Amino acid sequence: MADDKGKCDLPLTRVRTIMKSSPDVNNINQEALFLAAKATEMFIQSLAQVSLEQSDDRKMLKYNDLAEIVDNIDTLQFLQDIIPKKIKAREFFEIMKQFEGENENDSDT
């Protein structure tokens, strides 16, 4: 890891594009860009490591492992829209029926 000093595996041009997509951001200097990219890289590595440690298969990380970690760790709840638990279409439609039923009950009162 000491050899990785000053190196980032994420493409800095893409990170810059994502950062500039915020209306609050005008200019991004190289140091800020590198630090944001490196912090993101370290976050992804940490998320993958924790997910792999909790996985049944310690050799391969699966989507469901990531979704489970995001669902179970409070500090990762902000990722639930990005890494949701997979459900079957049948389950989704049942949830939507319940949701619509609750909304109808709310409008009756």
pLDDT, tens digit, 9 for 90 and up, residues 18-63: 999 999 988 899 999 999 999 999 999 999 999 888 888 878 888 9
- Residue-wise burial string across 90-103, b where 16 or more C-beta atoms lie within 10 A, e elsewhere: eeeeeeeeeeeeee
What is the CATH topology of the domain spanning 1-57? Histone, subunit A (1.10.20)
Q: What is the pLDDT of residue 36?
A: 94
Q: Give residues with Cβ within 8 angstroms of 58, minimum separation 6.
A: 52
- Residues 46/27, Cβ–Cβ less than 8 Å: no
pLDDT confidence band for 14 (50 / 70 / 90): very high
Query: pTM here?
Result: 0.69
pLDDT, averaged across the chain: 87
Helix (H, G, I), strand (E, B) or coil at 94: helix
- Please check whether residue 65 is in contact with residue 51, taking contact to mean a CB–CB distance below 8 angstroms: yes
Domain with CATH 1.10.20.10 in the chain: 1-57
